[in-house]
Amino acid sequence: MTRTFVGFGFGAIQAGLFLTEAHLSHNFDHLVVAEVLPDVVAGVRAAGAFTVNIGHADHIEALTVGPVEIYQPGVAVDRAALIAAVAAASEMATALPSVDFYARSSGGLVDDSVSAILAAGLRMKAANGGPLAVVYTAENNTRAAHLLKSEVLAQIPGSEQAQVMSRVQFLDTIIGKMSGVPEAADLTPIAPGLTRCFLVEAFNRILIDQIQRPGMVHARHLDPAWQAYARGITVFVEKSELQPFAQAKLYGHNAGHALAAYLGHELGLTRIDQLAGRPDVLRYVRDAMLYESGTPLCRRYATVDPMFSPAGYRAFVDDLVARMVSPYVRDTIARVGRDPARKLGWNDRLVGAMRLAVADSVTPHRYATGAAAALDWLSVPLLERPHYLHQLWAADNADPSEAGYMSELIVRASARLQSWSAEGFPPLETVETQYE
- 121 and 17 within one domain: yes
> For the chain, what is the domain count?
2
Q: Which of 239, 273, 294 is where one domain is finished?
A: 239
* Average pLDDT rounded to a whole number, residues 346-358: 97
By residue range, what is the domain housing residue 388? Answer: 243-435
Alpha carbons 334 and 264: distance in angstroms, whole number: 10
- 414 and 332 within one domain: yes
CATH number at residue 373: 1.10.1040.10
- In this prediction, residue 216 carries a pLDDT of 80
pLDDT tens by residue, 320-343: 999 999 999 988 999 999 999 999
The DSSP symbol for 18 reads: I
Q: Does the pLDDT at position 200 exceed 80?
A: yes
* Average pLDDT rounded to a whole number, residues 385-391: 97
Q: 308 in helix, strand or coil?
A: helix
Alpha carbons 2 and 232: distance in angstroms, whole number: 11
pLDDT tens by residue, 365-385: 999 999 999 999 999 999 999
Alpha carbons 117 and 96: distance in angstroms, whole number: 15
Distance from chain centroid for Cα 297: 20
Q: Which of 209, 239, 269 is where one domain is finished?
A: 239
- 288 and 184 within one domain: no
- 196 and 130 within one domain: yes
- 251 and 232 within one domain: no
Question: What percentage of the chain carries pLDDT values higher than 90?
Answer: 90
- 297 and 180 within one domain: no
- 416 and 370 within one domain: yes
- 171 and 222 within one domain: yes
- 251 and 224 within one domain: no
Cα three-residue angle 166-172-176, rounded to 5 degrees: 150
CATH number at residue 33: 3.40.50.720
How many helices (H) does the chain have, and how many strands (E)?
19, 12
- 141 and 256 within one domain: no
- 222 and 265 within one domain: no
Contacts of 218 (CB under 8 A, 6+ apart): 212
- 406 and 262 within one domain: yes
pLDDT tens by residue, 153-196: 999 999 999 999 999 999 999 999 998 777 777 899 999 999 99
Q: Which of 204, 239, 274 is where one domain is finished?
A: 239
Q: Taking the model in full, what pTM does it have? A: 0.92
Identity of the amino acid at 325: V
Residue 162 phi/psi, 5° resolution?
Answer: -60, -45
